Structure 1
């Protein structure tokens, strides 16, 4: 991509992005008013990085972008994610048009929330990851599958599933504000606002501070390389 096309795409994405002139090094839960957006230079760096990943369609009818395996590899190597189920859900959260690949637009817009989103944006993102069937609720079954997949099994446990079921009930008791046996977004939002640590209650789907800072220091250069 030549410089002119890069600048034009960056300008277009800056207009649609929700973060601008953002400052690095702020605390994770910084009030929205203190956070500016991804600036044009950083958007250009993310586009360059996307292009450097060598994204090409597997056949001439496929969309151009990062396929599931390539994207999962980035989540694992760069952001330290290991949970297969969560990585698949993160891929779906980035892939807004459901065409089975992450386009350059989805890459920039997703990372702007992934790395620098406000608390509200991160809550919506996490809820989308955890709502496995996209029905607007996190059910007991969804909680069970995510927690079973993410928690380490203890060899001494005769029936680890019982322990996970108990954990689901404890979680519901704490987060199910309307007591209907499942979590709506309102339930999830209220619980997280009361206790921020519940943001990733059902599995790590955001990078930790160390991974975020390492990514930014490497990506936001004139010639980013993953």
Structure 2
């Protein structure tokens, strides 16, 4: 998939009409016709500029085009592959949970609005927004707390070995340790309030049951490839290099 955004020496109008140099004029116009309404909607709901939304959705559109002329959405397979290759999130259960959260009733494809919302969380500077997102991923039972069964399912992936008894013991010890850290009211459950209180004091514990968000390097590549100019300064990128 090749994307060549056109920015240099162009007016704003021409930038919008000729966003991708790999598509001809008719295809660029078709893109704008498809996503114009969503872009206007997302301008009010996300931190992105109009140009950034155009670029984010152009990447989505190029994935859709790979699925054939009649395709209208990114497939589940493409979504999983993107997480594993670009975002470096490898836990299939976590990727599945992310898809459920953002795509809602869409079980086999990712709607464009879900794609934009995903980028909005990834690029957010709000710890509260990221905590709510990550906790929702871990919250397998769709309640407002994590119990010992849930923690065991995630922690069990941390340990491998031929000695099954040892793995079980290590898992149980880790679960006990996490409950001591996060179960502040000692009720045998980790509520969102417990979790958020701990993470605000120690932000490194945000993803304590496994990575759910791209690393800083992954975000840098994502911002560069998506032309999210508002994030490039924070990541040490030069906006003049984006063409």
TM-score by length of 2: 0.74
Q: Are the equivalent residues in 2 in contact too, given 1:176–1:183 (CA < 8 A)? A: yes
Q: Are the equivalent residues in 1 in contact too, given 2:144–2:191 (CA < 8 A)? A: yes
1:129–1:55: structure 2 CA closer, same or farther, 3 Å change rule?
farther
Cα distance between partner residues in 2 of 1:65 and 1:143? 34
1:99–1:55: structure 2 CA closer, same or farther, 3 Å change rule?
farther
Q: CA deviation at 1:80?
A: 1.1
Q: How many positions carry a matched residue from both structures?
A: 198
Secondary structure of 2:131's match?
helix
1:117–1:91: structure 2 CA closer, same or farther, 3 Å change rule?
farther
Q: CA deviation at 1:55?
A: 6.2
User: Which residues of structure 1 form unaligned runs of 5+?
Assistant: 18-36, 222-226
Following superposition of structure 1 onto structure 2, how do residues 19-98 of structure 1 map, counting pairs within 5 Å?
Answer: 37-54=47-64, 64-95=72-103, 97-98=104-105
CA displacement 1:167-226 (0-9 Å, x = unmatched): 1111011111111111111011101011111100000000000011011111218xxxxx
Aligned match of 2:116: 108
CA displacement 1:44-66 (0-9 Å, x = unmatched): 111111110026999x9xx9433
Q: Are the equivalent residues in 1 in contact too, given 2:159–2:170 (CA < 8 A)? A: no
Aligned match of 2:41: 12
1:79–1:135: structure 2 CA closer, same or farther, 3 Å change rule?
same
Secondary structure of 2:185's match?
coil
Secondary structure of 2:206's match?
helix
Does residue 204 (structure 1) correspond to residue 233 (structure 2)? The answer is: no
Q: CA deviation at 1:85?
A: 1.4
Aligned match of 2:170: 163
Cα distance between partner residues in 1 of 2:110 and 2:208? 26
Moved more, 135-144 or 67-76: 67-76
Aligned-CA RMSD value = 2.4
CA displacement 1:118-176 (0-9 Å, x = unmatched): 10000000000000111221111111111112x14144674201111111111011111
Aligned match of 2:234: none
Secondary structure of 1:74's match?
helix
User: Which residues of structure 2 form unaligned runs of 5+?
Assistant: 1-29, 229-243
Q: Are the equivalent residues in 2 in contact too, given 1:85–1:146 (CA < 8 A)? A: no
Aligned match of 2:180: 173
Larger radius of gyration: 2
Q: CA deviation at 1:5?
A: 4.8
Q: Are the equivalent residues in 1 in contact too, given 2:144–2:192 (CA < 8 A)? A: yes
Following superposition of structure 1 onto structure 2, how do residues 115-130 of structure 1 map, counting pairs within 5 Å?
Answer: 115-130=123-138
Q: Are the equivalent residues in 1 in contact too, given 2:159–2:171 (CA < 8 A)? A: no
